[in-house]
Structure 1
Amino acid sequence: QEKIKRNILNIVYNYKNTPLKRYDLLKDFQIISPLKKGLAGVSELNKSVQDILNPAHNTKNEIQHGSTTFRENDKVMQIKNNYQIKWTDINTLKKGEGVFNGDMGIIKRIDKEKQTLEIIFDDEKRVIYPKEQMEELNLSYAITVHKSQGSEFKAIIIPIFSGYSGFLNRNLLYTAVTRAKEMVILIGEVNGLKSMIKSVQKNKRKTTLAERLHDFL
């Protein structure tokens, strides 16, 4: 996984010399990993990509929450449904409640005195997060395949691993690849890719839909 991670970070660092140069790496591009842990898993990639795309600077406020450093201009994701949190539409000033699992946005401002984050989500809702609700957020330079479901991005990178038989299967690969509208970059092991393509998910859903349709007709 170390080599896979290094190759991903090299592409991100040198993206202006790659086909990714035509994309906004915060809005159009996403790393989607099958794994949370490991050197090329979501947790480690988020820390490393953050250092490349949004490094610490004396002009940027940041705040530590657990093992995560949140910094102004960071890309983040809501990781659980919150039906009560208040938002304001930045265009219409309409107000409402609710931010949901998988919603992504950018940290626009950190108030270190009040210990709050101001986030503008992709649907242009502005939300203020107090310290106690920061546990609902993750950095989202890299996200899992599971968290990517229902989303689309112009360009994606997917790390490909060997091992993890049964878990890394064709269905997972299909879900990841189909998140991209224009470009997919696979980085990893050819044998891992072949294994995923050959591995078909065995736990089939038995809905008896065909039998019920037959009876109905």
Structure 2
Amino acid sequence: MVRLTEVFRQATQSRIITNAHRINEGKMPELSAEEGSDFYFVEAPDPKIGLRKLIAVVKDRIPARFGLDPVRDVQVLCPMNRGGLGARSLNIELQQALNPAGDVKVERFGWTYGPGDKVMQIANDYDRDVFNGDLGVIGRIDVEEGELTVSFDGRDVVYGFGELDELVLAYATTIHKSQGSEYPAVVIPLVTQHYAMLARNLLYTGVTRGRKLVVLVGQKKALAIAVRNQGGRRRWSKLREWLAGSVA
């Protein structure tokens, strides 16, 4: 077994990488914001203020400073679905802030969709060649035909209104759902109301999804809880004892 413990070529260039390694080692990330940094912490004492600051970061601050599109380039990653700063509530808030519904919209399966909305495929669909976790943007809604068109990396895929249970809004999603993906910019809310899901491995996964920029929004106490909590418990299966007994 080989374990990589040192950061070399990119260490002096990326706070994302060095802070990801610090988190993985159980150390608090460096939070001082230096000019040209790619890692920031925006403090918010409670979820209500955190919501306001997170929307400002996604809608205004990141586009103005880094020139990134708030819908296509910025992904909010949450420790959990529930709560005021959970993925479901944030999707509704971010949709209202970034793409408020116009005259053309469709409501199905608990979501309201309009042209320009960011969505995620949540089931493997081999006929359409789209898969669980794929992100797209709604291009057109044809109310008369009962169809909605989503662009996935420039490829249009058509859904009937009755098939929209395969999609959810995706301005925000859970860190768990983001595994295996990466995004130009990642914004992660961290508050103590997420206590049940605050863990080092989850935070590490979220931070390492960001390619150019990572912004944490929330409470330092919640960040500290996540860094200290190693997450998954060791399994005591007694496999070693059983194998030793069978050999004997």
Cα deviation, residue 11, structure 1: 2.1
Q: 1:13 to 1:24 in 2, by over 3 A?
A: closer
Q: Does 1:37 align with 2:86?
A: no
Q: Does 1:57 align with 2:87?
A: no
Q: Distance in 1 between matches of 2:202 and 2:63?
A: 30
Q: Distance in 2 between matches of 1:196 and 1:203?
A: 15
What percent identity do the matched residue pairs reach? 37
Deviations 1:110-129 (A, max 9, x none): 0001111111102x322110
Counterpart mapping for 1:1-217 below 5 A: 1-15=47-61, 18-19=64-65, 21-58=66-103, 61-84=104-127, 86=128, 98-122=129-153, 124-165=154-195, 167-204=197-234
Residues 23 and 29 of structure 1 are in contact (CA less than 8 Å); yes or no, is this contact kept in structure 2?
A: yes
TM-score, reference length from structure 2: 0.72
Q: Distance in 1 between matches of 2:102 and 2:197?
A: 40
Report the counterpart of residue 21 of structure 2 in structure 1: none
Structure 2, unmatched stretches of 5+, are 1-46, 240-248
Deviations 1:66-119 (A, max 9, x none): 3211000111000111223x3xxxxxxxxxxx2110001011100001111111
Q: 1:120 to 1:141 in 2, by over 3 A?
A: same
| Structure with greater strand share of residues | 1
Residues 87 and 174 of structure 2 are in contact (CA less than 8 Å); yes or no, is this contact kept in structure 1?
A: yes
Structure 1, unmatched stretches of 5+, are 87-97, 209-217
Q: Distance in 1 between matches of 2:58 and 2:204?
A: 23
Residues 166 and 201 of structure 1 are in contact (CA less than 8 Å); yes or no, is this contact kept in structure 2?
A: no
How many equivalent pairs are there? 194
Amino acid at match of 1:107: I
Q: 1:166 to 1:57 in 2, by over 3 A?
A: closer
Q: Distance in 2 between matches of 1:52 and 1:165?
A: 27
Deviations 1:8-66 (A, max 9, x none): 112234336753x41122222111111111111111111111111112234xx211113
Residues 123 and 166 of structure 2 are in contact (CA less than 8 Å); yes or no, is this contact kept in structure 1?
A: yes
Residues 106 and 121 of structure 1 are in contact (CA less than 8 Å); yes or no, is this contact kept in structure 2?
A: yes
TM-score, reference length from structure 1: 0.81
Q: Distance in 2 between matches of 1:186 and 1:16?
A: 13
Residues 166 and 199 of structure 1 are in contact (CA less than 8 Å); yes or no, is this contact kept in structure 2?
A: no
Q: Distance in 1 between matches of 2:62 and 2:231?
A: 38
Residues 75 and 183 of structure 2 are in contact (CA less than 8 Å); yes or no, is this contact kept in structure 1?
A: yes
Residues 63 and 70 of structure 2 are in contact (CA less than 8 Å); yes or no, is this contact kept in structure 1?
A: no
SS at match of 1:2: helix
Task: Specify the structure having the higher radius of gyration (Cα).
Answer: 2
Q: 1:163 to 1:38 in 2, by over 3 A?
A: closer
